[in-house]
Amino acid sequence: MKSRGLIICLCILALLFGCDVDHGLEPMPGRLEVKAMFRGTPPADTQGAYLIVAPQFPPRAINELFQSPNSLPVGQDTVLTGIDLPYGHYEAYGLWWYSKDTRSNLADLLYLPMDLLTGEPIGFDITPEQPLVQRTMKPNWDNMNRDASIRGTVHFLGDFPQESDITAVAAFHAEPKSVIHYLVWLKSIDITIEPGVKSHDFILPVKSGQIGYIAIFWLPKNAPIYDIQIVAECYDPDHPDEFWEKVLAPGETVEGVQINVDWDHWKSLNTLEAQ
């Protein structure tokens, strides 16, 4: 099992980001201004793109995120936007894409500036000496163009844990090795698995290219975010020791992916780890 700490951001942003964020009515003394220079064409189902700022990354609670109240204009090549902020250090900022058709989740991160040397998000400081911070970003709409898909079935053996809340299937570019990988390598996620079902048919819309890791995630009811866990991973049926992997062409749909979750086996492993 992977360390639970590696997937904090997956659960927080995939399950909670759609909520409104209220930071009160007090005036903010600082401001982040962004020049967004868009490339590509917005997908047809684009509802909008919103500027987000995270004092701590990954955030521990949804109310730690700042989000612009309105979408950036869709269809303009260059957009100037901004968000008022209190003094402080901010570990990440970026753009979040919203679809007209689906609930927003972690796979909808349109742009996140990253330090190529450290692999960490690029942050900034708002101070009395420097209350205005200006940044330029070059988001690519094509990152949100899900022109391929993966279809399959999750089979559940045994009974769901009684405390089950969220069970999800997610696809990644490759097997994540860090918190950041769980964020930037996520290609698609389905959080609609109902507790108690014996099987769940899923469709994961993805951008064409490599998909190298698919896994099932689980979160108990009323649990802290740190209790998110991986309960199963998808393996190549012809090579049982290797993860399922495929490079999808534009317009391609891969069907027949099968993932098995043995709840009794998983429960026994977790009992042993707890001892």
Q: Three-state SS across 218-256?
A: EEECCCCHHHCEEEEECEECCEEEEECCEEECCCCEEEE
The domain tally of the chain equals 2
Do 237 and 268 fall within a single domain? Answer: yes
* Residue 139 within a domain: yes
pLDDT for res 222: 74
Give a yes or no: residue 202 inside a domain.
yes
pLDDT at 272 over 70: no
What is the pLDDT at residue 225? Answer: 53
pLDDT, one tens digit per residue, over 25-64 is 567 899 999 999 999 999 988 999 999 999 987 666 556 7
**For residues 164 and 218, is the Cβ–Cβ distance under 8 A?**
yes
Greater pLDDT, 13 or 43:
43
> pLDDT digit string (tens) for 157-171?
999 998 888 899 999
Q: How far apart are CA 234 and CA 216, in angstroms?
A: 8
Q: Is the separation of the CB atoms in 119 and 178 below 8 Å?
A: yes
Tokens 């900034």 -> residue:
124
**pLDDT digits 0-9 by tens, 202-216:** 999 999 999 999 999
Q: Where would I find the beta strands (DSSP E) of the chain?
A: 30-37, 46-54, 66-67, 78-85, 88-90, 92-99, 109-111, 124-126, 132-137, 148-157, 164-172, 186-193, 199-206, 209-211, 213-220, 229-233, 235-236, 239-243, 246-248, 253-262
Length of the chain: 275
The residue range of the domain holding 51 is 12-143
Are residues 69 and 135 located together in one domain of the fold?
A: yes
Q: Distance between CA atoms of 61 and 219, rounded to whole angstroms?
A: 16
Examine the fold and report which residue of 104, 127, 143 is the final residue of a domain before the chain moves on. Answer: 143
pLDDT score of 15 more than 50: no
Q: Which among 122, 143, 164 is the end of a domain?
A: 143
Same domain, 154 and 217: yes
User: Is residue 159 domain-shared with residue 257, that is, in the same domain?
Assistant: yes
pLDDT in tens, 68-78: 989 999 989 99
